[in-house]
Amino acid sequence: MQARTGSERAVLESFLDFHRSVVLRKLRGLSETDAARRLVPSSTTVGGLVKHLTLVERNWFSALLDPSGGEVVQATAENALASFTLTDEDTVEQLASAYEAECARSRAVAARFDLDHVVPQPQLGEVSLRWILVHVIQETARHAGHADILRELTDGSTGAY
């Protein structure tokens, strides 16, 4: 449930968690074949969207905010395409588990900083945690909409719940 009152942080985190849960609902219940099925001219699939969003979480929270969290993957056309590409190991359960684990890690990392905490981002310069949260909300919501359309094309189910 989204926070309708409370601190700015509570509202931002609530919106992000809501969109994260929508993405998972769009993936869960799909067969392996349906999760990997291309239904639009691009190579976008529901499974690929979840794989991509796992990288988004890692990039913006663990890699950027936590010095031990790994290296930021640069936003290039090649890296973007690779982040959506499924392999034989990318099962529905594995994709969902990896995304859930990365989201949990994102929450833990973000909790260590206030919204005004600023870090250098290799392509943008300095960004605050507030900016990161808004950016990841936007990215997750956008891809939740893509997943909703793909799920509707697959089995007719629509909506956030």
CB-based contacts of 41: which residues, under 8 Å, 6+ apart?
Answer: none
Asked, for residue 59, whether it belongs to a domain, the answer is yes
pLDDT computed for residue 109 by the predictor: 96
Asked, for residue 141, whether it belongs to a domain, the answer is yes
Please give the share of the chain, as a percent, with pLDDT higher than 70. 94
pLDDT tens readout for residues 61-98: 999 998 776 777 766 667 777 889 999 999 999 999 99
DSSP labels for the chain?
---SSS-HHHHHHHHHHHHHHHHHHHHTT--HHHHH---SSSS--HHHHHHHHHHHHIIIIIIHH-TTS-PPPP--HHHHHHHH---TT--HHHHHHHHHHHHHHHHHHHHTS-TT-EEEETTTEEEEHHHHHHHHHHHHHHHHHHHHHHHHHHHS--S--
Asked, for residue 160, whether it belongs to a domain, the answer is no
pLDDT tens readout for residues 2-22: 677 889 999 999 999 999 999
CATH of the domain at 39: 1.20.120.450
Asked, for residue 31, whether it belongs to a domain, the answer is yes
pLDDT computed for residue 94 by the predictor: 98
Asked, for residue 2, whether it belongs to a domain, the answer is no
Mean pLDDT of the chain: 92
Asked, for residue 161, whether it belongs to a domain, the answer is no
Asked, for residue 149, whether it belongs to a domain, the answer is yes
pLDDT computed for residue 36 by the predictor: 97
Asked, for residue 21, whether it belongs to a domain, the answer is yes
Structural domain of 37: 8-155
Q: How many domains does the chain have?
A: 1
